[in-house]
Chains A and B, each alone.
Chain A
Amino acid sequence: MQALRNIGIIGRITMLEGARKQVFHVLMLFAVFLIFGSASLAKFDQHVQMKMLNDLCLFCVFLVSSIVAITITVTGVPGEMEQKTVYPVIAKPVARWQFICGKYAGAMGTVAIGMAIMAATFTFLQLSYAGHLDTAMFYVLPFLYLETAILAALALWLSTWASWPLAWFLSVLLCLLGNLKFPLYDSLMSRPQSGFNRVAITTLYHLLPNLESFNFKDAMVHHLAVPNAYLWQTAAYGLFYTAALLTLASLTFARKEL
């Protein structure tokens, strides 16, 4: 019980701190402008316009939330250690894993605030252009959030052993690879490879998070139906992957000398 409370408290202060930072405000302003900007770009006939609007807006939401999620988590733990703010907290009867989970929860809270702001802008645009809401938003956005959750967990784990610039770079790289892993795998495997390379590529392929599958943007833009079972399966995969990364991060952090 106290463990959950500790995570909640650490999460709360992390979220407050994150949401009060100027960088966050600037990014949010940037995102809102980007979304409005993409709306003004989309000037075709009604049908094409809606498609383009959805496509561009969702891409903005994805881009900005990923940047926010990666940046906040990657600087969170190293920043706490550099600025020594970690000491008063872990001097309390707080386990290291609770600290990690708290930092993660706080970062995801900040991302949620950001996404809510962007979603509100998006909703406003949809209502003013099309006059009604596309209900697909109600699963597309949560899955985008789940994708950023994986990214944040990945960034958090990297930041427990790498310096934050390196962790940031690796997170962005893995984000790109995770989104492009199908075409990349196909193109690599279609070329002649040695046996060892094949095994290595396949292992990497399976270890990399399958971020592409969280992207239902195309389904929304082109009004494709997505089976429920597939949604559940994807959600379970996302949660499992996040939990595994948080466990790894806790284990590395527990052995760290502060």
Chain B
Amino acid sequence: MKGNQTMPNTAIRIQQFTKEYPVPRQKEKRVAVSNLTLAVPTGGLFGFLGPNGAGKTTTIKMLLGFLPPTVGEAWLFDRPVGDDRARQRVGYLPEQPYFPKFLSALEVVKAHAGLSGLAGNRAKERIELCLRQVNMWDNRHMILSKCSKGMTQRVGLASALVGDPDLLIMDEPSSGLDPLGRKELRELLTALKNDGKTIFLSSHLLSEMESVCDRVGVMARGKLVACGTPAEITRAGDGVRVQIEQAERDEVLNTQIADWGGSVEAAGEGSAYLRVPSALVYKVMGLLETRRARLVAVTSQRETLEDAFLRLVS
């Protein structure tokens, strides 16, 4: 069946999603997501970033049909999200995966294999493969109430993967995992991506996401404030950072730099950092010479994803 389906080239298409939650005893509603339009192409890893309360989980819940949007529509592989079959090719890892407490890891993953439409030997193979992928095969008979948080997270990951979905939607997948687990998760995500799967994950662990994301969308207060490749979002080094040493604080130099639109940041011990537009770098050199400041280093300034994130959401 799967082979015959032609693959649409957008995995997720969201049009003007808005979600308002009623606030008890108040007339005004709390807007969790406002007018969000977004398209996620098939293949690659899309990082859905945003601070706490930005509306990431709410968006994901609307995508999976848990919540109806107040306004707007969305499609998963060109099927409207209101249709239960839209989730046929989707694997989902909730923010905090919880499973029935008295079941074993194997029973849970088996149930999810069945719900994904797998049966017989194919189901058996997938169950074993996925439990091994998340390092839970040896603990497969463990009852979930006795599992640690990270182990539950791994079981959740295995049940999301077991149906061999084309699109994985994950809400904070690395929460609860130790550094080793996170590294394994990154490797797993990269392997899945190389397999042609589309991954849509929400996170606020930016330094981690920077290395694996192909595209990112940044949410703040319910609005999409930026969307594109990490290179497009981080401000290209429009400026340079000049490290200098000077005998004493030089007001003339500082005023001139400020006039040129730069800034001076004292770093103690007579050293300071100047941030100036890169076009003015030679002018600054001349100024340094006349003001008798010693040049230590000139570095081009490129924002990390974290810097960009902080700039965008503030």
B64 near A13 with CB under 8 A, answer: no
A83-B125 Cα distance, complex, nearest whole Å: 30
A84 near B84 with CB under 8 A, answer: no
Is B116 in the interface zone, CB < 8 Å from A?
yes
Interface residues of A in 1-53 (CB under 8 A from B): 2, 5-6, 9-10, 12-14, 16-17, 20-21
Q: Which of B87, B108, B115 has the most CB of A within 10 A?
A: B115
Q: Which of A5, A21, A84 contacts B102 (CB 8 A)?
A: A21
A17 near B159 with CB under 8 A, answer: no
Q: Which of B87, B99, B101, B103 contacts A92 (CB 8 A)?
A: B87
Contact partners of A6 in chain B: CB under 8 A? 114-115
Q: Which of A16, A17, A21, A89 contacts B115 (CB 8 A)?
A: A89
Q: How far is the CB of A18 from chain B (nearest CB, A)?
A: 9
Is B156 in the interface zone, CB < 8 Å from A?
yes
Is A93 in the interface zone, CB < 8 Å from B?
yes
A211-B83 Cα distance, complex, nearest whole Å: 38
Is B117 in the interface zone, CB < 8 Å from A?
yes
Q: Known A17-B103, A257-B67, A258-B61; judge A84-B114 contact (CB<8 A).
A: no
Interface string of B68-91 (1 = CB under 8 A from A): 100000000000000011111011
Is B112 in the interface zone, CB < 8 Å from A?
yes
Q: Known A2-B117, A88-B112, A94-B84; judge A83-B107 contact (CB<8 A).
A: no
Interface string of A112-150 (1 = CB under 8 A from B): 000000000000000000000000000000000000000
B92 near A9 with CB under 8 A, answer: no
Is B51 in the interface zone, CB < 8 Å from A?
no
Contact partners of A189 in chain B: CB under 8 A? none
Q: How far is the CB of B12 from chain A (nearest CB, A)?
A: 14
Q: Which of A2, A85, A87 contacts B100 (CB 8 A)?
A: A85
Q: How far is the CB of B258 from chain A (nearest CB, A)?
A: 53
Q: Which of B87, B102, B103, B108 contacts A91 (CB 8 A)?
A: B87
Contact partners of A90 in chain B: CB under 8 A? 64-66
Is B181 in the interface zone, CB < 8 Å from A?
no
Q: How far is the CB of B107 from chain A (nearest CB, A)?
A: 7
A93 near B100 with CB under 8 A, answer: no
Interface string of B91-113 (1 = CB under 8 A from A): 11010111111110001100110
Q: How far is the CB of A163 from chain B (nearest CB, A)?
A: 15
B99 near A85 with CB under 8 A, answer: yes
A5 near B92 with CB under 8 A, answer: no
Contact partners of B160 in chain A: CB under 8 A? 88
B116 near A85 with CB under 8 A, answer: no
Is B163 in the interface zone, CB < 8 Å from A?
yes
Interface string of A65-94 (1 = CB under 8 A from B): 000000000000000000111011111111
Contact partners of A84 in chain B: CB under 8 A? 94, 96-98
Is A162 in the interface zone, CB < 8 Å from B?
no
Is A95 in the interface zone, CB < 8 Å from B?
yes
Known: A88-B97, A88-B99, A94-B84. 4 other contacts (CB 8 A): A9-B115, A10-B111, A17-B101, A21-B102
9 A-B pairs within 8 Å (CB atoms) are namely A5-B114, A10-B111, A13-B100, A83-B98, A87-B92, A89-B115, A92-B115, A93-B115, A94-B84
Interface residues of B (CB under 8 A from A): 61, 64-68, 84-88, 90-92, 94, 96-103, 107-108, 111-112, 114-117, 156, 159-160, 163, 169
